[in-house]
Amino acid sequence: MAVSPELEGLRCIAPSRFVSFSFPSPLLRDASNPYGDGGAGEFLRVAVLDSPLPAPPVPRTAAMLVPAGRHTDWIFSTRAGHLHLLLSSQFSRLILVGPELSVPSPRVISCVSRPDSDPAHARLLPLLLALCPIAAFRDNVIPDVPLLSFQDDLLRLAHVKVVAGPVVGEMVVEDVAVDCAPGPAELRRRLRFKRMPCLVQTQVRLACQSPAAAASLLDALEEGSGSLLQPQAGGSLVQPYLQAMVAGLAVIAPSIDESFQSGVRPRCLCAGVGGGSLPMSIRVGLQFNVVGIEADNAVLDVARDYFGLVEDEFLSVHVGDAIQMIQDLARQGKPDAKFSAVMVDLDSSDSMCGVSAPPLEVTHESILLAARTILHRHGVLILNVIPPPSGGSFYKSLIDVLHQVFSELYEIDVGNGENFVLIAAVSPIETTLTGNSGSFLTELRKLAGDFLEHIRKI
């Protein structure tokens, strides 16, 4: 049988190589088919990705069955999503098996756990072994190819809108039912970019406009009652890393209290707006004067239309390069336009490096000096940091350069295995961070919760 050059090349590991093809389904009309009778058609889509990291002498291969109904989700249908799954698995090659992308997905997808996949694994094993590199068969030992399972906290998922922007590309707005055990499930709206599909850019809670339907919120997605669901903008923050970013303001709580007592609203610059949950919460919950900068006007339109972003005299958003705007403001040097806080929530646009934040240019000393210039003497720079999977030195280097530019540095470990928040202070901090005195800290706790107790000096 003739084999295509692409498939022939799979005999060895080639960093970052991606191959996808159709294959007659071994699961067709079989009780082990996780997609049901005829649910995936006569063919399966098989996608193979090799890790960008150096392979060991005996490379390991794993496979994953795409969850039923989610085969068109960018997590499973794009190279960027596939890469994130691979880097999270610690294998040298990951094989995704699922329905072809032409197979339609249901409007509302149930994300409940599926039955035992062992029978399907047995039917697929000859194919999976054929896709293992030759080096995996060292000493004539047949390698183990485990079938990994994908797990998240979703119970149901419904697409609301797909939009394309000139800078970020395609993005999707979706309503989801989230398992918040041991508490009750919640309905949320979230925003994801195709270039980084595993990263939720924005997530807000949804409230039901009809009190009569409030008892059956989980059924709202099934019934197509999207018009009854409205985002709770400006309220409590859903994403823990955003809570931690807001908690960073505790470092300068006495200065912020002084500003309010003198009748001056503290100013905050948000580099990166997304769906707008962070600037809205700072403006509404903390009564700051907020300026937001977003690279793509289409993202701002989505934030206004689907996430409740409202501009007023105390919240303005602008389209542009946030890093360039920080540099421009530093050059202008207006003393009456300084900020109490600059919050940087920008992810790297290079999806082939996996999920990471902030972009590398933010870590340049010249950029950090510009950020310090636009802060007043009691100001802080607050960074959301996701160290890249393959860059162990990135985080240490960032801490080193921040120490060179700023007087003091604090850290919050968000505790999710990904995010850290760094708080860089222009001036030495002379008071305790988590004392209960001051009205600002009282309001801050409503948004930041327990993260105030996790601030540590580094």
CATH number at residue 399: 3.40.50.150
Domain identity same for 284 and 379: yes
Query: What's the whole-number mean pLDDT along residues 118-138?
Result: 93
By the 10 Å C-beta count (0-12 exposed, 13-18 middle, 19+ buried), 166 is classed as exposed
445 Rama class: left (phi>0) / alpha (psi -120 to 50) / beta? alpha
Domain identity same for 190 and 134: no
Domain identity same for 399 and 265: yes
Confidence band, pLDDT 50/70/90 cuts, at residue 41: confident
Residue 2 has pLDDT above 70, yes or no: no
Confidence band, pLDDT 50/70/90 cuts, at residue 432: low
Tally of domains within the chain: 3
Domain containing residue 349: 240-457
Of the three residues 231, 255, 273, the one that is the final residue of a domain is: 231
Domain identity same for 41 and 81: yes
Residues 6+ apart with CB under 8 A from 383: 344, 358, 362, 398, 421, 422, 423, 424
Residue 229 has pLDDT above 50, yes or no: yes
Residue 175 has pLDDT above 90, yes or no: yes
Query: What's the whole-number mean pLDDT along residues 332-356?
Result: 84
User: What is the rounded CA–CA span in Å between residue 38 and residue 99?
Assistant: 10
Domain identity same for 107 and 203: no
Query: What's the whole-number mean pLDDT along residues 82-94?
Result: 94
**Which residue has 């960073």 as its token pair?**
248
Residues 6+ apart with CB under 8 A from 143: 58, 60, 61, 129, 132, 136, 137
Residues 6+ apart with CB under 8 A from 1: none
Domain identity same for 282 and 422: yes
Domain identity same for 331 and 453: yes
Question: So what's the pLDDT on residue 265?
Answer: 96
Range of weakest confidence among 101-105, 219-223, 309-313: 219-223
Of the three residues 148, 165, 188, the one that is the final residue of a domain is: 148
Contact 75, 26 (CB under 8 A): no
User: What is the rounded CA–CA span in Å between residue 455 and residue 436?
Assistant: 15
Domain identity same for 275 and 386: yes
Length of the chain measured in residues: 458
Q: What is the pLDDT of residues 260-275, one digit of tens each?
A: 999 999 999 999 999 9
Residue 169 has pLDDT above 80, yes or no: yes
Residue 214 has pLDDT above 50, yes or no: no
Query: What's the whole-number mean pLDDT along residues 396-416?
Result: 96
Domain identity same for 177 and 222: yes
Percent of the chain with pLDDT over 90: 73
Residue 1 has pLDDT above 50, yes or no: no
Of the three residues 116, 148, 180, the one that is the final residue of a domain is: 148
DSSP conformational letter for 57: S
Q: pTM for this structure?
A: 0.91
Domain identity same for 302 and 217: no
User: What is the rounded CA–CA span in Å between residue 168 and residue 298?
Assistant: 9
Domain identity same for 64 and 199: no
Domain identity same for 24 and 102: yes
